[in-house]
Amino acid sequence: MSQVIPVILCGGSGTRLWPLSRSGFPKQFLVLSGDDSQSSLFQQAIERINAIGGPDVNLGPTLIVTNEEHRFLALDQLRELKDISATLLLEPIGRNTAPALTLAAFEAKGSQNAGKDDPILVITPADQTVQNTAAFIKALQDCVAVVQADEKKQTIAILGITPTSPETGYGYIKCGAIQGANQEYVVEQFVEKPDSATAQAYLKDSNYLWNGGMFVLRASTWLAALKEFRPDIFSATETAWVAKTIDQSGQATFIRPDKDIFKTVPGESIDYAVIEKCPGSKYVVKVVELDAGWNDLGAWDAVWQVGQQDPDGNVTSGDTLVTNSKNSLVHASTRLVSAVGVENLIIVETADAVLVADRKNSQDVKNIVNQLESQKREEKNLHRKVSRPWGWYDSVDEGERFKVKRIQVKPGASLSLQMHHHRAEHWIVVKGTAQITNGDQVILLTENQSTYIPQGQTHRLANPGNTPLEIIEVQSGSYLGEDDIVRFEDTYGRS
């Protein structure tokens, strides 16, 4: 029995879900169910794919391919999942899904856990939702069985989503005849995102399924097919992989392909690079149908569709009051949001931005993100409250020559040893114990005590205690940007 290795593709920025999703905290790390006790999309993806293990599926450790910038977000959310062993493959820059899967295939084939075996990869994005988990698990297990049965190691299995509407935002799979014990179809053709009339025709024709971007194939099959169809991607990614570095963060392993070489890798999707070229070649693509309430949450309208609707069709989250309104989504993050007499609207509030959009135009939120980028506004990238590997900070107020932050440091964690050229800082301990390096001095401060860090002084903030440390930081100076940090030492490899 071949080892089966889950692969989570955790890239993308989810721009159509702004202002909740941002490049520094993309949608896969969000909880979009409206219940803070629920898991993020990333955590749900990991738990679903790890549930396929059983007597016929020898499940190995999970491989997560994500951006270097998001490594600690992924690591923090991984720690909340019990009994999940994972290795993080860190892309220095996004190059789409084909290079990402290639990194995972190289790691899977070279892993000591794989031994001499040729492992089967089960690949899924990190930002989808599924209502019927049992049906999803069964369909993936069927895909594994399809690949396992091919002794020539040239079969690729793919999940095809049962269409529920004439969707123009998805690619489609044209199915041929049923072939095999798992009710799989041979794929005749992959077709691009259709116009509305074509999508209507596909919906009426039972031979077409949505392409959800979930694949099962052997590591060797992917590498061989990529080498045949896109040797440029194969060669550049292999060169970057050979020059990789490996380090540990607690129980987690970080693997980094060479940054400069990886930047030269052509960006391309799994579908365009390989999968769509396979029908008619020696690589046979078979599709297993999935009818499980799948959604890729590509825009706010999709979040409304999968949300828990009240009798008037409204989906609400957070502190909201809604009256005489229908078929709207209202999301409050930090304060009371009320809606009166509205229909078919998207209203999303965060601490530093509010979005109001017609539901039918929710795909166009990306146009706002493009404007933010052209204006170099920070609201595109980060929330007011920013996660860091040591904890978080919240910029609660700012004006000319001053900024006020609320900072929380995890037990045992510390910020980097650093210095600022353009600002001084005042620190007041609100809760916990702070160990503060201030030049040559190291002092301990407790609740209601404070200190001053002069401009140009080397300093560090650490939490030596067993409970979270919280401080208020008041910055003053001529420039207060986050890039005015010179790091000398850093636990998290940022110096």
Q: Are the CB atoms for 463 and 399 separated by under 8 Å?
A: no
Report whether pLDDT(13) > 90. no
Cα dist. 346→27, 355, 357, 455 in Å? 17, 7, 5, 45
Please say which residue of 243, 271, 295 terminates a domain. Answer: 295
- The listed range with the strongest mean pLDDT (26-40, 176-190, 254-268) is 254-268
Report whether pLDDT(9) > 50. yes
406/342 same-domain check: no
Which CATH number do you get for residue 468? 2.60.120.10
379 inside domain: no
88 inside domain: yes
289/316 same-domain check: no
Average predicted confidence (pLDDT) for the chain: 93
Q: How many domains does the chain have?
A: 3
Q: What is the pLDDT of residue 464?
A: 97
302 inside domain: no
54/135 same-domain check: yes
Query: In the predicted model, what is the mean pLDDT of residues 96-119?
Result: 83
Q: What is the pLDDT of residue 114?
A: 46
Q: What is the pLDDT of residue 38?
A: 81
Under the banding of pLDDT at 50, 70 and 90, the label for residue 112 is: very low
Q: What is the pLDDT of residue 326?
A: 98
Please say which residue of 320, 335, 370 terminates a domain. Answer: 370
Which residues are bridge partners to 347 per DSSP? 330, 356
375 inside domain: no
Report whether pLDDT(421) > 80. yes
Query: In the predicted model, what is the mean pLDDT of residues 81-90?
Result: 91
Q: Are the CB atoms for 84 and 59 separated by under 8 Å?
A: no
Cα dist. 147→64, 153, 208, 374 in Å? 22, 7, 22, 46
312/242 same-domain check: no
202/143 same-domain check: yes
Across 147-182, b (16+ Cβ under 10 Å) vs e yields bbebeebbbbbbbbbebeebbeebbbbbbeeeebeb
338/392 same-domain check: no
190/336 same-domain check: no
Report whether pLDDT(300) > 70. yes
Percent of the chain with pLDDT over 90: 84
Which CATH number do you get for residue 98? 3.90.550.10
Provide the 3-class DSSP secondary structure of residue 430.
Answer: strand
Scanning the structure block, which residue is given the tokens 């044209």? Answer: 174
Letter for the amino acid at 425?
Answer: E
Query: In the predicted model, what is the mean pLDDT of residues 66-84?
Result: 91
Report whether pLDDT(36) > 70. no
70/162 same-domain check: yes
249 inside domain: yes
Percent of the chain with pLDDT over 70: 97
Please say which residue of 257, 272, 295 terminates a domain. Answer: 295
Report whether pLDDT(35) > 80. no
Q: What is the pLDDT of residue 447?
A: 97
Query: In the predicted model, what is the mean pLDDT of residues 182-190?
Result: 90
Q: What is the pLDDT of residue 34?
A: 47
Under the banding of pLDDT at 50, 70 and 90, the label for residue 111 is: low
Query: In the predicted model, what is the mean pLDDT of residues 335-347?
Result: 98
135/270 same-domain check: yes
206/152 same-domain check: yes
270 inside domain: yes
Q: What is the pLDDT of residue 51?
A: 95
Under the banding of pLDDT at 50, 70 and 90, the label for residue 33 is: low
137/233 same-domain check: yes
Under the banding of pLDDT at 50, 70 and 90, the label for residue 108 is: very high
Under the banding of pLDDT at 50, 70 and 90, the label for residue 82 is: confident
169 inside domain: yes
Query: In the predicted model, what is the mean pLDDT of residues 378-394?
Result: 93
| Bond prior to 125 in cis (omega within 30° of 0) | no
Q: Would you state the structure tokens that stand for residue 249, as one six-digit string?
A: 């963060």
Q: Would you state the structure tokens that stand for residue 116, as one six-digit string?
A: 């001499």
300 inside domain: no
Report whether pLDDT(56) > 90. no
130/154 same-domain check: yes
Query: In the predicted model, what is the mean pLDDT of residues 360-369?
Result: 95
Under the banding of pLDDT at 50, 70 and 90, the label for residue 250 is: low
Q: Give the domain range for residue 461.
A: 385-489
